[in-house]
Structure formats: structure tokens, C-alpha cells
Amino acid sequence: MTAQLDSWFTRHEYARIYPFAGFILLLAVEPWLAAGLGWLGIGPEPTYLLRTVCALLLLLYFRRDYRELCIAPSFNQALMALLAGWLVFVLWIAPYPSWLGGHEVSHAMAMPMQSGADIFWLICRWSGSALVVPVIEELFWRSYVMRRLDSADFMSVLPAKVTAYAITVSSVLFAMEHQLWLAGLLAGLVYAWLYRRFQVLWVSILAHVTTNAVLGLWVVYGGHWQYW
């Protein structure tokens, strides 16, 4: 079986697929993990931390395979990433109708922080969403899937040469990962454009970090828990 998988994927593909796949797999089995923790007398809060740690360990294991992460953004590129990240945040919280994946309007709720443990789990949730998820998603969706749609030898595809077809299809697939699919589609197009325009994956990652970090703070301090 291992030999067969090796014939399908290269190590460069493994490095970009496994962290994302591990995170999604643990998300899929989260109800069973939460039930198991409940049986042990523990709440469901550790499930997100488990997903984050799993993805982080896989990123560290494959760290030498991420050539695109060796290129740091310039000051102007970083500034553009921050602006783009804020733009995506605004697009994300826009009042979309339900048929476009929007949430039902709900009243803001107070932060559920009644103990130090509550604060700890909120910090874990925010940190994973803002610092780990953007890296695994940009490595998978933009560095791998988007370029792989243009060529089986995706490592040879320059970001500046990525086709409109690859940008569109990868962004649609990225949107399907999110409940707010229209916002996800727009976000995917923005992050893809950044990678194509600047050819530095850190620009897309920084924009994604900005979006998720600001969204997380907005969720926690505004009580908009439906976005988490």
C-alpha cells in the first residue's frame, strides 16, 4: 500500500497534503472524540487543541520541504497582505442571505469565560485559527492544489504563471470547505491573487493570518460565536 501511495504522490505533495488532511480528519471525527472525552469526564474543548497540535507537528516534520516559505515578504508586500486580510474579514462578516451560506441574524452573546480554563481554551482556539490554520491552508490550497491543477509537476509552476482556471477551481474548492461558501470563495480568490501577484506565499499566509486573527477577536469580544 505504501509503495502504491508513493507512486501517486511525491514527498512535496505529502508535505502539503498531510498537515491539512490531518486537521480535517480530526475535524470529521470530532463528535466521537468529544464523546470519548465526555465519557472520561472531560469537556469537548481539547478537540480543537488536538487538531492544531497534530497539524503543527506535521508542519514541523516536513519543514525542510517548504521551499516557498524560504522567501520572506518585503515591507510593501506585508502591508498589502494586512490590507487584504482586513478586506477579507469585512467580506466574511457581511450580511449574506442564508441561500448564500449566511448565518441567521443573532444577538451578541457574552464571552463564556467563567474560569481560567475557559480563557485558556479560548486562547488555544484563537491561536490555532490565527497562526496554524492559515499556514496549512495556504500550503495546501494555494501552493499545492492551485499549481497542481496546472501541472502534475506543480513545483515547476511559477505562481505568476498560474492560470485563471487553476485560481477559479481551487478557490471554489476552498469555498466548499466553509459554511460561508460565498465569503470563502471571495477569500480564496483574494489569497490566490496575492500569491500570483507577489509570488511569495508568506503574503497569502499573512493575509490569511490577519483575517483569522481579527475575526477571532471579533467573535470573542463581540459574542458572534456563529462564526466559529
Chain mean pLDDT for the chain: 90
What ranges do the domains of the chain cover? 2-227
Instruction: Determine contact, residues 86/214, Cβ cutoff 8 Å.
Output: yes
pLDDT of residue 33: 86
What whole-number distance in Å separates Cα of residue 171 and Cα of residue 158?
Answer: 18
List pLDDT tens digits, range 62-87.
Answer: 999 999 999 999 999 999 999 999 99
What whole-number distance in Å separates Cα of residue 206 and Cα of residue 141?
Answer: 15
List pLDDT tens digits, range 156-213.
Answer: 999 999 999 999 999 999 999 998 999 999 999 999 999 999 999 999 999 999 999 9
More confident residue, 37 or 23: 23
What whole-number distance in Å separates Cα of residue 12 and Cα of residue 203?
Answer: 21
> Within its chain, how far is the Cα of 180 from the centroid?
14
Task: Record the cell numbers describing residue 103, joined without a space.
Answer: 448565518
List pLDDT tens digits, range 104-123.
Answer: 555 555 555 566 678 898 99
What whole-number distance in Å separates Cα of residue 144 and Cα of residue 124?
Answer: 27
- Rounded to 5 degrees, φ, ψ at 130 are -90, -30
